[in-house]
Chain A
Amino acid sequence: MNLLEVKNLDIDYVTKEGNLKVVRDVSFTLKQGESVGLVGESGCGKTTLAKTIMRLLPDNGVISGGEINYKGENIVTKNKEEIRKLRLNEIAMISQSAMNSLNPVYTVGEQIIEGIRSHTNMSKKEAIKRAEEVFAIIGLEKKRLKSYPHQMSGGMKQRAIIAMALSLNPSLIIADEPTTALDVVVQDKILSQITEIQKQTKSSMIFITHDISIISELCETIIVMYGGKIMEKSSSKVFFKAPYHPYSLGLQNAFPSILDIDKGDLISIPGAPPNLMGELKGCRFKERCPFRTDKCMEELPELKEIGEDHQIACHYPERVDEFREESKKKETWQMVSDRIINESKGDA
């Protein structure tokens, strides 16, 4: 059985100006012990998706369709108390901003113990012991349990947050950009620790990042999101060798390989993510895609199987060779940039 099964999920943010369609028709599954990486630009809906799995959406966030089945039970229809029991115990989150995720007026130990005790009948002593255990796993001295957050470095705080997430052996860990705030050396250490722990505990993981290179090391599957929709879903091995979707090709350009560093400037994707308010027509990537056709302007491409465990949402999977060739050229993207400027002139 699948541990997690997200089916046709739609999420909206209700605002005064109208509904913001942050996530549309997202489906994926996750088996026990597997991890999936979510990548995409800021605002593409990855954090919203992750929070929804824990039902941590802000008050104006609404799940407007679809199911999230966790161990066969639909999370969407569960009540507050049922959700509360699930959090940390079953699904734990390593949050985006570890720097501010610890309450400054309590010691780190108190905060970990509090989490343990709100889900189990452990005595304070047992909870302290458990906290010491997870601290040992993550490589923090146990005397650090008595530290206040302001007495710890960023890396230590991030470790403490990870320790907290591990404290009850959750089946699913959601890591939302856990290392963005850290320097590269600490980042690397912590990532390898996370992988290590994940292997030991056999928990599944959803890893959210804008850094696709991290996914290649950590996750079996990669999901590329854009404008609230899945653009490409693939095993990461296949993806890093041969991405299909024009957006993925653009993303690949934006990440330098250390080998061809002298090739000159990075090629970035011109333009900005689409506005998700109002009626959305055609492919979400149409404004910034160098290969768009009239069909792309009108018709939303469905997610199609194009190989084993490999799906993309593009009308033209058969033109991939041409796309790959063209997308490596600067002129291709320069054309998009010119087009965007022209279009905005037309609007004005």
Chain B
Amino acid sequence: MLNYIARRVGIMLLMIILVSTMIFFLFRAMPGDPTAFVVDPSMAPEARQVLIERYGLDGSLWDQYKVFIKDLVKFDLGNSFFYGRPVMKIITDRIPATLILMLTGMIIAYGIGVFGGALMAWKRGHKLESAGITIALIFRSAPTFWVALMSIILFSVNLKWFPAQGMRTSGYTGETFKEIFMNLDFLKHLILPSVVAGLYFIATPLLIMRNSMLEVLSEDYIEMARAKGLRENRILYKHAARNALLPVVTAGALFLGSAIGGMVLLETVFSWPGLGREIVQAVTRHDYPLAQGAFIIMSSLMMIMNLVADILYAVLDPRISYR
């Protein structure tokens, strides 16, 4: 098992280099001259030249790439053109907000989805089943930003239950992680966007769980569990749901990719100061280092989550062992 993880981490590092290379050239292929955005064209040519050199935009593409990779190995993603601060610092500042929002959404979606899906299969043909599927599909097909806007109108503007935007009430300043994230004010700001995120995510676990439950329920070991005289709840959760969970875990890991994508829209609508919003801005500003860095970090996160899912899978299913 440890051997396996070590090998996977090795492959991951290689993949990150590969992905970084692709990202690097992708941005260079984008139309528009970064120097025009970054460096004010009205400046004196000498001053411009100094700035361009400082940003490393004067060398050939190949030279720029070499510098980029050399820094990357040292976990240095360079300085943001726009902020003039290290990209690493900007990303690590932003990432907790995104992760907290995303994970809360995922927990809501998976918590309700897994149990709901199991229940729907157990009570096949019940009204609850068709209602559940319909609701889940509505929230999956409706544009996220629209659902977000509607929820703001209803819960923030009309009912005034939750704040409409941001991560904290303006004027509040926190320095440490604890001060920023572990308080009631933050929680109030979190509820609306995370519920909207959860509603968007919920279709996947709910429907996969239901389908896989239906399959499991016709297995012989379920009949055997009944023949053993176990209580219904125990059969449902310990025998059926436990086995039905396996495909949900895989789907969950793959789903993380699109989940991060979905965050961009939500963060924009709710003015949530997360990584997603930062990426959009960085791309429009031609802030190469920041955009590159954010994409690299996001793809690394994806890979880590996939590894976690694989490990989790081995824990859940004794038939799978990694060597």
Report whether B220 and A97 are in contact in the complex, using a CB–CB cutoff of 8 Å.
yes
B146 contact set on A, CB distance < 8 A: none
Interface residue? A328 (CB, 8 A): no
Interface residue? B319 (CB, 8 A): yes
The contact string, 1 if C-beta is below 8 Å from chain B, for chain A 83-121, is: 011111100110111001111110100000011001100
Measured in the bound complex, the distance between the Cα atoms of B230 and A87 in whole Å is 9
Chain B: minimal CB distance from A60 (Å)? 11
Chain A: minimal CB distance from B216 (Å)? 10
Report whether A164 and B239 are in contact in the complex, using a CB–CB cutoff of 8 Å.
no
B234 contact set on A, CB distance < 8 A: 114, 118
Interface residue? B153 (CB, 8 A): no
Complex interface: stretch among B15-23, B62-70, B221-229, B252-260: B221-229
Chain B: minimal CB distance from A98 (Å)? 9
Interface residue? B231 (CB, 8 A): yes
Report whether A85 and B228 are in contact in the complex, using a CB–CB cutoff of 8 Å.
no
A93 contact set on B, CB distance < 8 A: 224, 227
Interface residue? A316 (CB, 8 A): no
Report whether A148 and B319 are in contact in the complex, using a CB–CB cutoff of 8 Å.
yes
Report whether A115 and B230 are in contact in the complex, using a CB–CB cutoff of 8 Å.
yes
Q: Say what secondary structure dominates the interface of chain A.
A: loop
Report whether A86 and B229 are in contact in the complex, using a CB–CB cutoff of 8 Å.
yes
Interface residue? A56 (CB, 8 A): yes
Interface residue? B179 (CB, 8 A): no
Interface residue? A54 (CB, 8 A): yes
Given A100-B221, A101-B221, A105-B243: A87 and B228 interface contact (C-beta under 8 Å): yes
How many of B's residues come within 8 Å of A, CB to CB? 21
Instruction: Write 12 A-B pairs (CB below 8 A) sorted by A numbering.
Output: A56-B223, A86-B229, A87-B226, A88-B227, A88-B228, A93-B227, A95-B224, A103-B221, A103-B225, A103-B243, A114-B230, A164-B228
Interface residue? A150 (CB, 8 A): yes
B223 contact set on A, CB distance < 8 A: 56, 95, 101
Of the candidates B219, B227, B242, B317, the one whose C-beta lies within 8 Å of that of A56 is B227
Measured in the bound complex, the distance between the Cα atoms of B242 and A84 in whole Å is 22
A80 contact set on B, CB distance < 8 A: 232
A86 contact set on B, CB distance < 8 A: 229
Chain B: minimal CB distance from A85 (Å)? 7
Q: Say what secondary structure dominates the interface of chain B.
A: helix
Interface residues of A in 113-136 (CB under 8 A from B): 114-115, 118-119
Measured in the bound complex, the distance between the Cα atoms of B227 and A54 in whole Å is 7
Q: Please report B residues at the A interface, Cβ cutoff 8 Å.
A: 219-221, 223-232, 234, 239, 242-243, 316-319
Of the candidates B228, B230, B242, the one whose C-beta lies within 8 Å of that of A105 is B242
Measured in the bound complex, the distance between the Cα atoms of B317 and A118 in whole Å is 24
Measured in the bound complex, the distance between the Cα atoms of B223 and A107 in whole Å is 17
Of the candidates A87, A103, A107, A161, the one whose C-beta lies within 8 Å of that of B239 is A103
Q: Which of chain B's residues has its CB closest to A83's CB?
A: B229
Of the candidates A100, A104, A118, the one whose C-beta lies within 8 Å of that of B319 is A104
Of the candidates A88, A96, A101, A104, the one whose C-beta lies within 8 Å of that of B229 is A88
Chain A: minimal CB distance from B178 (Å)? 39
Chain B: minimal CB distance from A54 (Å)? 6
Given A95-B224, A101-B220, A102-B221: A118 and B230 interface contact (C-beta under 8 Å): yes
A85 contact set on B, CB distance < 8 A: 229
Interface residues of A in 123-180 (CB under 8 A from B): 148, 150, 161, 164
Chain B: minimal CB distance from A302 (Å)? 34
Measured in the bound complex, the distance between the Cα atoms of B316 and A101 in whole Å is 19
Measured in the bound complex, the distance between the Cα atoms of B211 and A216 in whole Å is 45
B220 contact set on A, CB distance < 8 A: 95-97, 100-101
Chain A: minimal CB distance from B141 (Å)? 32
Chain B: minimal CB distance from A41 (Å)? 22
Q: Which of chain B's residues has its CB closest to A112's CB?
A: B228
B318 contact set on A, CB distance < 8 A: 104-105, 107, 148, 150
Measured in the bound complex, the distance between the Cα atoms of B227 and A164 in whole Å is 11
Chain A: minimal CB distance from B149 (Å)? 44
Report whether B224 and A114 are in contact in the complex, using a CB–CB cutoff of 8 Å.
no
Q: Which of chain B's residues has its CB closest to A107's CB?
A: B318
A95 contact set on B, CB distance < 8 A: 220, 223-224, 227
Report whether B316 and A105 are in contact in the complex, using a CB–CB cutoff of 8 Å.
yes
A100 contact set on B, CB distance < 8 A: 219-221
Report whether A84 and B316 are in contact in the complex, using a CB–CB cutoff of 8 Å.
no
